[in-house]
Amino acid sequence: AVFFAKMNALLEERESGTQAKPEVNAANPALRSAEDSQRRMALMRLLGTAAPVVYIWSLPLLHLTGFAHKCTNWPDCDGTGPSVSSFICTPQATGAMAATFFYPCLHMWLNVQQTPQCWAYLTLIGFQFWFGMFLVLPVEYVPDFHAFAVNNFCLCGLLHYGIVSKQCAARRLYRCGSMLALGVVSYMGVFVLVVISSLNKNVLFSVRWLFFIFEASGLSSMAVFPMLWYAEHPDMVDTGFFSSNSFVSRSTAHSQPEQVAMAVVALP
């Protein structure tokens, strides 16, 4: 009898606890407002990450409308086949490239503030400079300078991601590592295809779009990586967002769950 009485008391206590939670949430407008802000922030980050990826992979379609550039000897394009560099050789396509990559570049600068590595800053400065040169020097007019800028911004970007990966939170390390690996493979693929094309331009005619696939994959990985990364803090718990500041203390997360939602409002 004592055993059944204790079981009934436990069941009643559990039921009363589950019923009290909605009342607490309903009586806390600040928490509801914070949760709404959290959803809006998640949507904005998702759109900011998807914009450059969608734009890059839609360039083959945009060239049909005249928005993107079409090379003179299409689709051979100097032996390498169609490329992102060739597609963006119009004012509007170059501007759209810069606009869509603004959000990932912004988060690269926000993320680097979470790491004490001096080389992380230097490689990011190099990436930002050479990425600008990549846009300023069109491949159709100055191909050698353009290739030099592409090689440098890719190297600086991969080095930067490799350096900040050391401070990446364990929960995100696999995802960030996957993006970094994709970037390295894409860079190596572009390099090999350029070498093959310089030796014999007829070799790549049967795989004309392979060069574009490597380019687009590498740029996509560079755009996604900053949104997945955040610094490792042993006393912090991840709130599930892409930002490097998307964490609160574990004690706060357990004792004051409403602060988890409120912390999101203060995210950059």
What mean pLDDT comes out for the span 21-47?
Answer: 69
pLDDT in tens, 139-163: 989 999 999 999 999 999 999 999 9
pLDDT for 160 equals 95
pLDDT for 197 equals 85
What mean pLDDT comes out for the span 88-94?
Answer: 94
Q: Please report how many Cα atoms fall inside a 13 Å half-sphere around the Cα of residue 18, on the Cβ side.
A: 5
pLDDT for 16 equals 56
For 130-139, 155-164, 197-206, which range has the lowest pLDDT when averaged over its residues?
Answer: 197-206
Looking at per-residue pLDDT, the higher value among 173 and 239 belongs to 173
pLDDT > 90 fraction of the chain, expressed in percent and rounded = 44
Mean pLDDT of the chain: 80
Residue 181 burial (C-beta neighbours within 10 Å; 0-12, 13-18, 19+) = exposed
Task: Kindly report the pTM of this predicted structure.
Answer: 0.74
For 6-15, 78-87, 206-215, which range has the lowest pLDDT when averaged over its residues?
Answer: 6-15
pLDDT for 3 equals 56
Query: 238: part of which helix (H) or strand (E)?
Result: strand 236-238
pLDDT for 5 equals 59
Calpha distance 248→241 (Å, rounded): 12
Beta-carbon contacts of residue 117 (< 8 Å; ≥ 6 apart): 163, 164, 166, 167
